[in-house]
């Protein structure tokens, strides 16, 4: 019996000492990195690269030989030579032809180059897909952060009112306050409790959405203390120039132009005729014949004019797209940068208001508990404190939103996800 008791105690102690897996708190950068590795949409888009790479294999293949047979059988018995039957070779002519189309070296080279350029384009399109996904992940991370801050604020406010309600019940019992004071305190506590339920559900919903975008199954949380340490260049023009070189959509358009150049060369070479050469073996009525075969298209009417023109127009379209996107990029960055600097300054200026609201609340609460002011003054101070806190986190959220917008507009969001 003692042995069993000792064993049970040892098991309990071991279970208590077993390490508990902590809930992972993701910074913004870690959330982006997780999405890069695990997002199901990105995993689907990765197959596009493999599909385009298979086109290189197709372009490298050479045309197959062509085997042709034609057989003619004399069908009038009256025409058969004497002492010959239906199956006799003297009543039959057979044509065997083995030929092969000979693709010109310039055609094969242009096909391979076109396929290789398409692979590079697909890779850049995938990078641009990543950029858009990272924006969604960062936005959802910020939504979780906002929901968490709102939940924390309401929890703090509810706890403050709950503690005051407990004190007021004792004060009412001692006839220090009226029942109205207690009722008002409990009313505000109940209001906070209702708001807390909604805030808690909003937070759980946003967490679920973030988990999907990150492609993770385990419980997650965010690091609300993340200070967004990535530093932008001091000069806005430097960000613009960097984005014009590195942003994924700009690189995609530039590669579209390279693909268009490769396609122009391919379509022009496709206009060249492809010769087909081979050998002929032709037994006729038991007489053996051998010969050669050769054919080539005469490009009089069709010289692939339509596809050549189309490829040229596609390049012109890409050139215009590059100009339009470059102008749009510069506008987006300048707007995002100005908003970022403004919101950053607003956050710095708001710190003094936080200190003032907290000081006022502490002073009014101290005065109320000592009978120096009314419950109305305290509840007003409490509401003012909560409003100020919420306004601060609204301003801080706008600052973080501007930070994410600038990361997205500049294309730097892809870098911090590496």
pTM of the model: 0.82
- Predicted local confidence at residue 285, as pLDDT: 85
- Tell me if 1 is assigned to some domain: no
Overall average pLDDT of the 142-153 stretch: 93
Residue 14 pLDDT level (bands cut at 50, 70, 90): very low
**Least confident piece of the model among 106-120, 139-153, 364-378, 397-411:** 364-378
- Predicted local confidence at residue 167, as pLDDT: 82
Q: Which phi-psi region, left, alpha or beta, contains residue 178 (left: φ > 0; alpha: ψ -120 to 50)?
A: beta
Rounded to an integer, what distance in angstroms lies between the CA atom of residue 330 and that of residue 335?
A: 9
- Tell me if 33 is assigned to some domain: yes
Overall average pLDDT of the 287-315 stretch: 93
Domain of 131 in residue numbering reads as 27-66+120-273+305-416
Residue 12 above 70 pLDDT? no
- Tell me if 372 is assigned to some domain: yes
- Tell me if 151 is assigned to some domain: yes
- Tell me if 334 is assigned to some domain: yes
Q: Which domain CATH number covers 137?
A: 1.20.1600.10
- Predicted local confidence at residue 229, as pLDDT: 67
Cβ-based neighbours of 82, under 8 Å, separated by 6 or more: none
Rounded to an integer, what distance in angstroms lies between the CA atom of residue 382 and that of residue 392?
A: 15
Radius of gyration of the chain (CA): 39
**Residue with tokens 């530039």, as numbered in its chain:** 254
Residue 290 above 70 pLDDT? yes
Q: What pLDDT, in 10s, does the model give residues 370-400?
A: 878 888 888 888 888 888 888 988 999 999 9
Overall average pLDDT of the 315-332 stretch: 94
Rounded to an integer, what distance in angstroms lies between the CA atom of residue 100 and that of residue 296?
A: 12
Q: What pLDDT, in 10s, does the model give residues 232-273?
A: 877 888 889 989 988 999 999 999 999 999 999 999 999 999
Read off φ and ψ for residue 70, nearest 5 degrees. Answer: -135, 125
Highest mean pLDDT among 70-79, 211-220, 251-260: 251-260
Structure tokens at 272: 């060249």
Q: What percent of the chain has pLDDT over 70?
A: 94
Residue 181 above 70 pLDDT? yes
- Tell me if 75 is assigned to some domain: no
When comparing pLDDT for 175 and 395, which is higher?
395
- Tell me if 84 is assigned to some domain: no
- Predicted local confidence at residue 86, as pLDDT: 85
- Tell me if 209 is assigned to some domain: yes
- Predicted local confidence at residue 41, as pLDDT: 92
- Count the domains in the chain: 1
The pLDDT mean for the chain works out to 88
Written in H, E and C, the secondary structure of the chain is CHHHHHHHHHHHHHHHHCCCCCCEEECHHHHHHHHHHHCHHHHHHHHHHHHHHHHHHHHHCCCCCEEEEEEEECCCHHHCCCCCCCCCHHHEEEEEEEEEECCCHHHHHHHHHHHHHHHHHHHHHHHHHHHHHHHHHHHHHHHHHHHHHHHHHHHHHHHHHHHHHHHHHHHHHCCCCCHHHHHHHHHHHHHHHHHHHHHHHHHHHHHHHHHHHHCCCCCEEECCCCCCCCCCCCCHHHHHHHHHHHCHHHHHHHHHHHHHHHHHHHHHHHCCCCCEEEEEECCECCECCEEEEEECCCCCCCCCHHHHHHHHHHHHHHHHHHHHHHHHHHHHHHHHHHHHHHHHHHHHHHHHHHHHHHHHHHHHHHHHHCCCCCHHHHHHHHHHHHHHHHHHHHHHHHHHHHHHHHHHHHCCHHHHCC
Residue 99 above 90 pLDDT? yes
């Amino acid at each position: 019996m003692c042995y069993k008791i000792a064993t049970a105690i040892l098991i309990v102690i071991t279970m208590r000492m077993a390490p508990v897996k902590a809930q992972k708190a993701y910074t913004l950068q870690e959330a982006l990195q997780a999405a890069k590795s695990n997002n199901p949409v990105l995993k689907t888009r990765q197959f596009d690269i493999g599909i385009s790479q298979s086109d290189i294999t197709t372009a490298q293949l050479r045309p197959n030989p062509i085997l042709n047979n034609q057989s003619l059988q004399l069908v009038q018995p009256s025409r058969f030579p004497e002492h010959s039957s239906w199956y006799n070779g003297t009543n039959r002519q057979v044509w065997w032809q083995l030929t092969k189309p000979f693709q010109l070296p310039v055609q094969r080279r242009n096909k391979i180059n076109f396929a290789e350029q398409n692979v590079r384009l697909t890779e850049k399109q995938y990078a641009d897909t990543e950029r858009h996904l990272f924006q969604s992940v960062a936005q959802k991370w910020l939504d979780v952060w906002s929901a968490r801050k709102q939940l924390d604020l309401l929890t703090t406010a509810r706890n403050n009112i709950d503690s005051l309600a407990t004190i007021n019940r004792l004060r009412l019992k001692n006839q220090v306050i009226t029942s109205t004071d207690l009722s008002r305190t409990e009313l505000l506590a109940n209001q906070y409790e209702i708001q807390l339920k909604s805030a808690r559900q909003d937070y759980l919903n946003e967490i679920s959405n973030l988990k999907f975008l990150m492609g993770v199954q385990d419980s997650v949380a965010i690091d609300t203390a993340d200070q967004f340490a990535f530093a932008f260049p001091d000069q806005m023009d430097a960000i613009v120039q960097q984005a014009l070189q590195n942003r994924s959509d700009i690189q995609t358009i530039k590669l579209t132009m390279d693909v268009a150049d490769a396609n122009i060369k391919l379509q022009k070479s496709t206009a060249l005729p492809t010769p087909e050469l081979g050998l002929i073996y032709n037994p006729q009525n038991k007489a053996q014949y051998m010969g050669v075969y050769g054919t080539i298209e005469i490009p009089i009417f069709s010289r692939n004019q339509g596809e050549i023109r189309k490829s040229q127009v596609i390049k012109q379209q890409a050139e215009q797209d590059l100009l339009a996107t470059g102008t749009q990029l510069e506008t987006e960055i300048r707007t995002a940068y100005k908003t970022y600097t403004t919101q950053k300054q607003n956050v710095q200026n708001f710190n003094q208001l936080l200190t003032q609201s907290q000081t006022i609340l502490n002073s009014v609460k101290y005065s109320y508990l000592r009978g120096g002011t009314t419950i109305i003054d305290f509840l007003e101070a409490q509401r003012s404190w909560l409003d100020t806190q919420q306004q601060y986190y609204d301003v801080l959220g706008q600052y973080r939103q501007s930070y994410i917008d600038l990361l997205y507009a500049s294309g730097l969001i892809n870098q911090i996800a590496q």
